[in-house]
Structure 1
């Protein structure tokens, strides 16, 4: 969840002292029904893939959509948005939009999604509620409701996270609020329909935002943003009880600003990832760290070459899923009918058209659709490929005097040949792709000074030239 940024770029936080305390709500009726833990079903198969929930924004907000978006990944790093990167459901009550959706697998093996009740970027608007959805396997969502977390006036309820508190036999829902300062509140529940009274969960003496909690063995980890210096930190507790956490990591930041910390354990148990969300849609959307031991508190920055978040994604959350769940999601929602081409040696840049010129530019940019291509059978040879623009249908990438342009297909044999390429193993990385010209077969699509062209390339070409001609086909 972002704080308000004024026209001068200054960040403001709601620090107004209120005439009440959390204790004033102790007698308010938020009681959960029952304390017994739901027995966890033994899943038939291990988690072999990942699902992500998120909302979308782009620099001028043409790509903004505050519904629930889904993506899947086999490796947890490179993501395929589902439903053409459109929402699969959108709230119909409250603010009629959501931010910061958090997906969690419950003790019975099914899923719950909780999300901020806010549509858009007017952070002066507040809600006492969270949006909630139930799902068996993330191929459908049922039981939509809003869950009232407190009765404060003019206090936000942002960026929820969920964890299982085994000692209590209940789920904890932790969220950002601004009562006496910016802190985390917690409500406990067994059914995500009724909750206990809110209480302070973490208030370390400086304002905080965007909690994420993960229980690993006997330790509960809480990652958060310190609003005083803008960095992400990790804290831990041996009990997971409110006010029991001690910060144990140094500050983490990538890009100009960071928030939305999200901790993910790899399905194979071999390592952990920590996602961070950019502060603004005009910056890069998501960043990633990795570690072999979350208890050690030492994190390594991942090269953006190694991961590709969903297009325009913001404040995502990740959960491990089984093969059957992955397949059910793909079958129900479908994968994109478009691709993007990511540069190997400038992994923050994607192939796009601008003023009918082919080039690579740092993502995000507007119009964001300029980077979206329909990779179709080659116009001159069906064994090859051609790249049709999504936002200018009938226009294709083609070479003219070896420079790459976006031109309308005039159906001539010359155009069809100029617009046809043959996909090969990447010249710099065989797991990626390179594209050889159909009618100039010694030449490959590459960037030079960020502008696309075709040049002769072969085994004797420099490593830099081979990198220039290597791309990841992604979505």
Structure 2
């Protein structure tokens, strides 16, 4: 009986410990006109989000000194690495900073990833993906280089393609290369690891008649990506981000045409269910990305305010 009681006690302790150490979902955001910096919201269930008041990092770099599209990932070093758009137009790079607790940040750096291009219109919405196989970070973003690609239906200065660099330490970066060219203007891409060798690229078709979100599939985080889906969202939607909650993936997106936020649920990225009625976000929330934090980190963020 004593042995059974001991085993039960260990089991209860293990459950209690796991509950105490559960991860919290964290959603990065910004506010227009994007000069205030980083805003954060948190959730215990991945559906209902509570805003943390005020800015947690004010932008200091880039000609415009703005922070749009903050993308954050917790890397293999248990450090949060963040990149963001520093200029709406102009500039040849993006912002970068890191933190252990999302309160104390490293010095902000400007990473001129397109410095070798004689003319680049923009560097938009950099997105970080941590490749746990190669133990490196992949950063993708959208840029327009006039007359580089077939014009199509977009103006030369609005004909975006996706580019990327890789890094292991955010000190040295690979040369910028073309990441994704679907044959039309594309922005706001997000890499999702669906399985051991299955990856999904969530993207925005940014051509004027479309401006909707789609997905494509590949066997590597660097592509190639094929079998592009039909549009998943309505006209004038952007800024997708994806988080796994239980056995489902939630694809959040900024439905900016209707000035609201929406979400789709899927288990395979083929069949989707609109779960927008089940989500809630802070007023003014603009698109960023979702990662996880510990309860200890959340406690620090709450107490800071």
Give the TM-score of the pair, scaled to structure 1.
0.54
Deviations 1:364-399 (A, max 9, x none): xxxxxxxxxxxxxxxxxxxxxxxxxxxxxxxxxxxx
Q: Deviations over 1:160-199 (max 9, x none)?
A: 1111234544211000111224110010111123211111
Is residue 236 from structure 1 mapped to residue 217 from structure 2 by the alignment? Answer: yes
* 1:133 alignment counterpart: 97
Which of 67, 70, 77 pairs up with 1:98? 67
CA contact (8 A) 2:164 2:178 kept: yes
What's 1:320 paired with? 292
Q: State the structure with bigger RCO (CA 8 A, min sep 6), 1 or 2.
A: 2
Partner of 2:14: none
Alignment pair present for 1:160 and 2:112:
no
Does structure 1 residue 330 correspond to structure 2 residue 299?
no
Query: Residue 41 of structure 2: SS of its match in structure 1?
Result: strand
Aligned residues: 270
CA contact (8 A) 1:66 1:99 kept: no
Aligned partner of 2:259 among 276, 284, 287: 284
Show the counterpart of 1:271: 248
CA-to-aligned-CA distance 1:206-233 (integer Å, 9 cap, x gap): 2111011122322221100112322211
- Counterpart position of 1:49: 24
Shift of 1:276: 0.9
Please say if residues 73 and 128 of structure 2, whose CA atoms lie closer than 8 Å, have aligned partners that are also in contact: yes
- Report the counterpart of residue 74 of structure 1 in structure 2: 44
Residues 285 and 314, structure 1, Cα contact 8 Å, conserved in 2: no
Is the alpha carbon distance of 1:259 and 1:247 closer, same or farther for their aligned partners in structure 2, counting shifts above 3 Å?
A: farther
Q: Closer, same or farther in 2 for the Cα pair 1:238/1:69, shift >3 Å?
A: same
2:227 is equivalent to residue 247 of structure 1: yes
1:48 CA drift (Å): 2.7
Unaligned runs of 5+ in 1: 1-42, 335-475
Q: 1:241 to 1:154 in 2, by over 3 A?
A: closer
Counterparts of 1:273 and 1:201 in 2: how far apart (Å)?
Answer: 24
1:223: which partner in 2? 202
1:428-467 alignment runs, 5 A limit: none
**Greater share of strand residues, 1 or 2?**
1
Q: Distance in 2 between matches of 1:45 and 1:204?
A: 45
How big is the alpha-carbon RMSD for the aligned residues of Structure 1 and Structure 2?
2.2
Give the deviation of 1:284 after TM superposition.
Answer: 2.1
CA drift of 1:44 comes to 12
Task: Please state how far the C-alpha of 1:92 moved relative to its aligned partner.
Answer: 1.2
TM, length-normalised to structure 2: 0.82
**Native 8 Å contact 2:56 2:103 kept in 1:** no
Q: Look up the SS of the partner of 1:127 in the other structure.
A: coil
**Deviations 1:316-362 (CA, angstroms, capped at 9, x unpaired):** 21112222222222122x3xxxxxxxxxxxxxxxxxxxxxxxxxxxx
> Are residue 115 (structure 1) and residue 84 (structure 2) matched?
yes
1:65 is displaced (CA, Å) by 4.5
Check 1:116–1:296 CA distance in 2 against 1; reply closer, same or farther (3 A cut): closer
Give the match's secondary structure for 2:30: strand
- Return the alpha-carbon distance in structure 1 between the equivalents of residues 220 and 21 of structure 2: 27
1:143 partnered with 2:115: no
For 1:172 and 1:245, how far apart are their aligned partners in 2? 15
Quickly say closer, same or farther: Cα 1:137–1:47, change in 2 above 3 A.
Answer: farther
Change (3 A) 1:45 1:213: farther
Task: Call closer, same or farther: CA 1:44–1:303 in 2, change over 3 Å.
Answer: closer
Selected match of 1:178 from 134, 144, 148: 144
Aligned partner of 1:206 in structure 2 is 184
1:257 and 2:244 aligned: no
Residue 108 of structure 1, CA deviation: 1.3
Give the Cα–Cα distance (whole angstroms) in 2 for the partners of residues 172 and 47 of structure 1. 27
Q: Is 72-81 or 199-208 further displaced after alignment?
A: 72-81
Q: Deviations over 1:229-252 (max 9, x none)?
A: 22211112112224x111343311
Change (3 A) 1:141 1:204: same
Q: 2:184 & 2:60 partners in 1: Cα distance? A: 36
Query: Are 1:88 and 2:68 counterparts?
Result: no
Residue 77 of structure 1 deviates from its aligned partner by 1.7
Q: Which runs of 5+ in 2 are unaligned?
A: 1-17, 149-158
